[in-house]
Every structure is written in C-alpha cells, then in structure tokens.
Amino acid sequence: MPPKKPTTLTPDSPVYALPGISETRAALFAKLGIETLSDLCRHYPRTYENRGKTTTVAEALESGCNHGEPVSLVLTIGTQPKVTTIRRGMVLTRFTAFDETGTVQITYFNQPYLRDAFAVGASHRFFGRCEKTTGGRLSMTSPKHEPLNAADPGDGSTLPAIYPIYRVTSGLTQKLIAQSVERALAVVYPADREIPDPLPQMLLEEQNLCGRRYAAVNIHIPENEAALDAARKRLIFEELLLFALGLRQRRARKELRTAIPMTAPDMAPFYDALPYALTGAQMRSIGEFLHDMTEKPSPMNRLLSGDVGSGKTVCAAAALYIALKNGYQAALMAPTEILATQHYEDLAPLFETLGFDCALLVGSTKAKEKTAIKSRLADGTLPLVIGTHALLEDNVVFANCGLVITDEQHRFGVGQRAALAKKAENVHTLIMSATPIPRTMALMLFGDLEMSVLDEMPPGRQKVSTFAVDESYRERLNGFIRKQAEEGHQTYIVCPAIDEADEEMDGLGGETVQDDRPTMKAAVAYAKTLAEEIFSDLPVGFLHGKMKPAEKDAIMHRFSTGEILILVSTTVIEVGVNVPTATLMVVENAEYFGLSQLHQLRGRVGRGRDKSWCILVSDNKGETARQRLEIMCKTNNGYEIAERDLELRGPGDFFAANPDGISYDVRQSGGLRFAIASFCDDMEFLQRAFCAADEIAAFDPMLEKPENVLLREAMEQRFGVVVL
Ligand code: ADP
Ligand code: MG
C-alpha cells in the first residue's frame, strides 16, 4: 500500500503529495533534485518556446522554412485524419490543414488516437519545424498542437504565447512537470496571502526589480516576453546576491578565528632541493603563503589558481614545508586516486630529502597499512599525508595538523572541504585550481578567498600546435593518429556525447525534443569502428562517463603505461592526469565544447619532451564556431582564452553546472547548483548583484539587523548554513 497523500499542502510537502505523482514518479523527480514543492518552484525552465509569434504558410515557405527553426501556424483542419500502418510498429496519422495563404501536410507517428483530435473545420495552433516537400508544399512532422478556444478571434491569441521547457529525465514528461510546477506555485505563492519578500523594498526600487511572487510565477508561466525578462532579472539578482552574501559571511566568520601561530622558516634548503629555479609567479605566490601563514591573525584561506602545467604542485610543497618546519602536520588531498598517487610520487622523494616522512592514504591502500598510517597521524609521528577522500573518514585524526591543501578543488564539495578542515582547529587552508578564470569572475566566485595566480609558465614549455579541420581531413587525420601510435605515442580522441536516458521528452506530442548533439550510442559506435576497423591492429581503449571510478582508473592506467595507445573518451579526462608520452589530442565535434573546456582538454598533451598536437574536428561552418576554434589555434594562454570565452558565451556559463566538471562550475559543489544564473548573459548586471551584496555586508556582515533577517534566512535556505 502506498502511503496516504497528505491533505494540507505546504511549501515543504514532498512532491508525492501532489495529484498524479506516484512514489515511482517522485523518485524520478528526486533524480532532478526535486524533493519538495519549493524545489519544484525552483526548477526553472531550461528554455522557452515562443508559440505566440505566428506566421502564415506563405511566409514560412518564403523564409526557407524559417531556416530550420520551429514555426507557429494557426491552421484549419482540411481533411479527415487518415491512419495507415506502413509496417509493424509504425502507424502514420496524416491530414492537411490550411490558412488563407496555403496548405500544410501534417504527419504524426504512432499516435493513431490523434484521428479523433482533429475535426475538419476546427482551428488549431501547430508548433514545430516545417519542411518543403518535393511538390513545393509545406509539411510538418509531429508538430505540437493545441485547439483554439471558442472565444479566439482565429489567431491563437487566447492561447499562452510562451511555453516553458524543463530539464526532464526519462519517465517524466514536460507536461507532468509543467502541471506539477503550476500546482506547487499555488501552494508556495498563494494568491490570497502576501509572501514576505527577502529582498528589502529599498533594494528592489534601487535596482528596479519586480517582487518575488511575480517573478516566481512569470519565470514558469510568463504573461509575455517583458514579464519573463523582469522575472529572470529579479531571480538572477536574488540568487547571486544570496550567494555573494554567503561568501562574505563565510569570510567574515573565518576572520574571527585565530590562526595557528607559525614563523617564517629558512626556505633555502627547500629551494636547493628543487631541480629547477622557480618562476617569478611561483616565488610571488609562495611569498603570499608565507605572509598568510606567519603574519596574519586569522588562518590562511587562499586559492592558488594556475593554468595546467604552471607548476602549482611545487608551490603547494613550499606551503607544506612551512607548516612542517614549524612542527605541524600537513595534508594534501586530491579528488582521485590517480592524482593523489601522482602527487605522492612527486613529493615523497622531495620531502624525504628534506627530512620529512610522507605517506599515501587512498581507498586501495591495504587495511594494515591504513591502520598504521592512521595511528601515526594520531600520535603525531607522521608529519605529511597525501590522499583522497579516504582522508575524510572519521577515524582519521591528526595530532597537530597545521595546513590542509586540496588540489583541483572544484571536484570536491564544500562539505567535504569543511570535513577536512574540521579535523584540525584553525588550520591554514590552500586550494589549488587548474581552471584559468577571468579576474572579474574570480572575484565573484571566490569572494571568500584570497587569490594567488600563476600567470607565468616555467621556461622551455613547448606550445601544443593546434589545428581546426573539417571532415575532409578525416583520412589524413587517421593516418596521423596511426603515425603517433607507431612511434609509441598515445592519442586521446574525445567525443562529446549525451546519454539518451537524459534526453528530453516532450509532453505534448510525446516526441523527442530536437537536440543535435551526438548521442552516447553514436560515440560507442564510433569507438567500435575505430577499434574494429580503422585501427584494428592497434590497442584502442574506451572511456565513458557512466563508468565506475575504478574502471576508469584501470583504463587510464593502461593508457599511461602505453598498453592502450588510442583512447576514445566521451568524458573528461581527469584534470591533472599526467601521461607525458601522449602527443595527440583529437576533439570530435569541437564546436560543442566551451573554449575553456577545449583548453583543458588540450592541456592533456604536451606534457613531455615530444612535440604535441591538438586537432579540433568540426564540420560546423558557422561564423561563431569558426571564430572560437580560431582562438584556440592562436593562443595557448588559458587566461586569455577564458577572457574570450567570457566575451563570447557570457557569464551564465560560468555559473551553469556541468556534470562533467570541466568548465567553470567551480562552485558547483556540495550539491550547490545555480538554478537561474545560467540564464544570465549580462556581465554588468551580474556585477551589480555582487556590489549590492558588498554594500549590505559592509554594514551587517552576519546579517543580524532586523531588516536583513529575511535575507539571511533565504541565504541559509538556498546555500546552506555556512559551515566554514
Ligand atoms: P600544475 O600546475 O598543472 O599542477 P605541475 O605542478 O604538475 O603543474 O607542474 C608541471 C611540470 O612542471 C612538473 O613536471 C614540474 O616538475 C615542472 N615545473 C614546475 N615548476 C617549474 C619551474 N619553475 N621550472 C621548470 N619546471 C617546472
Ligand atoms: Mg596539478
């Protein structure tokens, strides 16, 4: 027996409480991160369809079928729908419909019941892509359809103009989500009661923003374009304001703590132990750590940002050395076992030379050894540990930890970082990030951290030669890959792919929303062709997003030893993975990647002595696509690329969550996702939200004044109680 549905609904009621949502469906909603009615209200549309702008049949033909974009037509049904079975499992429903300017042939697949939905002479609005038949007529396949209301003057004006399109998951339709959202809105924002607005009235006026209920409703069910725009502005502003306030509050809280006292050691032995001289940027960063750790009253709380290969590890080592020399223990945590092991292999010999013992603690460390490491951490006899999440386990206790460093921070959740820091009071923290990020964005995203930037590469780095090519180069490209393999060098082939399970289903017609991205199936098929036909005599490996970490690690390991020479991957190759003998990065359908993603991918090669290449394959002839790939060919500087990326794509992409984690989703951690900011393409507007937060925080950093209490509640609700 399923549990009884509650009768009174509140914003915190589970979605299961709504009609039409079974337990099974509720589980699907949970997959989208939706548990409660409030969550539903915050499940903002991914995009919108504007069906209000209708055209005529003649106009549609004239415009070359609107260049492949969907059109909205108001048509009268001309012929009785005819259902024919063309083969087993394939039923067509066909009819014609017309307006004053022409006739359209309309076809639906496998929906025979539609025969009764269209009566001759009735008017409907149809929305979808159209095509010109060989006979010069217009045709539509599976358009969305809505009957005109009796009161409609004939132009569809009584129907809603703008339709929300939601992120869905298989088993949930657009229609069900839209309906549920509408029901949730009625509960969370009841029409008969005023819901207090967390943004102070003054601020709304000053920033020219609409009220909360108006925004909440119009983001889902917009009255018109202007209403949608107002709603969007208000919600972006609110979300970013709350986020910025959270950062400011976290910073204020940290500044209240007293640092573990340290003094500046003689760094000469450390520098002498290195096989190379440090760059100016590395020296500057180490100077900043030294200042933070020895001269400031509150603990170090710093981000070290540097492009791939800029030499962050040795800077981290310097910070570790400062802590160790002061008699404290230190920990370095990496997001994967491979990365942790690489750090260990780099750093253990260095610290041994310097007289400090170092251990590696990862998931696969033998139980006996784990126990030994833990007991030595607890009694203080082990000064330095490098590891993965294994370091977070409750029974890992430090005797006197003074510094915690996390590498590639964006792979960790805020909560995890907090757990590690909690292992020692007032510990100094350093976070390393390999995502080059424009200064303006960094100030916003990392407003709670001090920043050190490695904007200079160690000398002698060779440039990865980058070329953008189209399909006509395929033969030559395959020859080139073969040549690399014959010389014993590895090649990465990266294909963007979406998983069909996550494809969007449309609620009205039941057909799939058009998405031109290659599917996972296509990627698997391509990998198979490469392995079994084109390179059948060479070892080809396949890595995809749905693999378990251990499986991925195993494949990566075989690739790094050269047992696999060609690695086809639909997923991110771990940031930071080092395979110095890999010399070629091929990116298929390169137009689907952001510039910064491409830059990250390119950073996987050119890590050894051998000349390396990056080939960006794209058949997209569009101007922007071409421009973007050209930037990649021109420069290897990650910060320059990030700036151009910001210009070309707008700031929204920085805030958008990317499940694969190679773009700027630096703050997409601990379940934190920006629900709305990804809609934002206006940098100035974004900055306004952050400035407003600074003004509020300057007077009331902990948001304790009565006028800010609602703000604080909203912030805590949205981004969690600030832990650090
Ligand atoms: P990342 O910033 O990507 O983590 P690493 O710290 O792994 O970069 O450094 C990349 C490579 O550069 C390593 O092999 C490291 O030994 C080397 N390296 C770092 N600093 C210097 C330097 N100042 N001069 C020469 N080589 C350096
Ligand atoms: Mg690194």
CB 73 within 8 A of CB 189: no
Q: Is 303 helix (H, G, I), strand (E, B) or coil?
A: strand
C-beta 580 within 6 A of ligand 1: no
Residue in the block written with tokens 């260049």: 67
Indicate the pLDDT class of residue 657, thresholds 50, 70 and 90: very low
- Atom index in ligand 1 nearest the CA of residue 277 equals 23
CB 415 within 8 A of CB 723: yes
Q: Give residues with Cβ within 8 angstroms of 701, minimum separation 6.
A: 248, 249, 252
Dist. CA 11–CA 14, nearest whole Å? 8
Indicate the pLDDT class of residue 513, thresholds 50, 70 and 90: very low
Q: Give residues with Cβ within 8 angstroms of 640, minimum separation 6.
A: none
C-beta 405 within 6 A of ligand 1: no
pLDDT tens-digit profile of 111-143? 889 999 999 999 999 999 999 988 889 999 999
- DSSP annotation string for 10-64: -TTSBGGGSTT--HHHHHHHHHTT--BHHHHHT---SEEEE-SSEE-HHHHHHTT
Q: Which of 313-327, 509-523, 685-699 has the lowest mean pLDDT?
A: 509-523
Range list of β-strands (E), 379-496 = 384-387, 401-407, 428-433, 450-454, 465-469, 490-494
Dist. CA 590–CA 593, nearest whole Å? 6
C-beta 312 within 6 A of ligand 1: yes
Indicate the pLDDT class of residue 673, thresholds 50, 70 and 90: low
Q: Distance, CA 339 to ligand 2 centroid (Å)?
A: 8
Mutate to test the pocket of ligand 1, among 274, 276, 303, 602 (most ligand atoms within 8 A of CB): 276
Indicate the pLDDT class of residue 415, thresholds 50, 70 and 90: low
List the structure tokens of 537: 């005599």
Q: Which of 124-138, 208-222, 655-669 has the lowest mean pLDDT?
A: 655-669
CA 718 to chain centre: 18
Q: Is 691 helix (H, G, I), strand (E, B) or coil?
A: helix
Between residues 13 and 191, which one has the greater pLDDT?
A: 13
C-beta 603 within 6 A of ligand 1: no
Average pLDDT over every residue of 285-291: 98
Percent of the chain surpassing pLDDT 70 = 89
Residue nearest to atom 24 of ligand 1 (CA): 458
Q: Distance, CA 458 to ligand 1 centroid (Å)?
A: 7
**Mean pLDDT over the full length of the chain:** 86
How confident is the model at residue 661, as a pLDDT? 33
C-beta 306 within 6 A of ligand 1: yes
Indicate the pLDDT class of residue 622, thresholds 50, 70 and 90: confident
C-beta 309 within 6 A of ligand 1: yes
- Atom index in ligand 1 nearest the CA of residue 315 equals 6
Dist. CA 425–CA 403, nearest whole Å? 10
Q: Distance, CA 310 to ligand 2 centroid (Å)?
A: 8
List the structure tokens of 64: 């070359």
Q: Report the amino acid identity of residue 355.
A: G
How confident is the model at residue 654, as a pLDDT? 64
Residue 572 has pLDDT above 70, yes or no: no
Q: Which of 120-124, 167-171, 521-525, 597-601 has the lowest mean pLDDT?
A: 521-525
Give the closest ligand to the alpha carbon of residue 453. Answer: 1
CB 235 within 8 A of CB 199: no
pLDDT tens-digit profile of 95-115? 999 999 999 999 999 988 999
Dist. CA 661–CA 72, nearest whole Å? 37
How confident is the model at residue 509, as a pLDDT? 32
C-beta 458 within 6 A of ligand 1: yes
C-beta 274 within 6 A of ligand 1: no
C-beta 278 within 6 A of ligand 1: yes
The full set of domains in the chain, from first to last, is 1-48+164-193 (no CATH), 52-159 (2.40.50.140), 196-254+687-724 (no CATH), 268-454 (3.40.50.300), 465-655 (3.40.50.300)
Average pLDDT over every residue of 490-505: 68
C-beta 600 within 6 A of ligand 1: no
Between residues 299 and 33, which one has the greater pLDDT?
A: 299
List the structure tokens of 400: 């006197």
Average pLDDT over every residue of 386-409: 87
C-beta 14 within 6 A of ligand 1: no
Residue nearest to atom 17 of ligand 1 (CA): 311
How confident is the model at residue 514, as a pLDDT? 39
Indicate the pLDDT class of residue 89, thresholds 50, 70 and 90: confident
Q: Which of 305-309, 471-475, 557-561 has the lowest mean pLDDT?
A: 305-309
List the structure tokens of 612: 């390396």
How confident is the model at residue 656, as a pLDDT? 56
CA 184 to chain centre: 27
CB 724 within 8 A of CB 253: yes
Q: Distance, CA 308 to ligand 2 centroid (Å)?
A: 7
pLDDT tens-digit profile of 581-598? 999 999 999 988 888 888
Residue nearest to atom 18 of ligand 1 (CA): 311
Q: Report the amino acid identity of residue 687.
A: Q
How confident is the model at residue 718, as a pLDDT? 74
How confident is the model at residue 594, as a pLDDT? 80
CB 112 within 8 A of CB 125: no
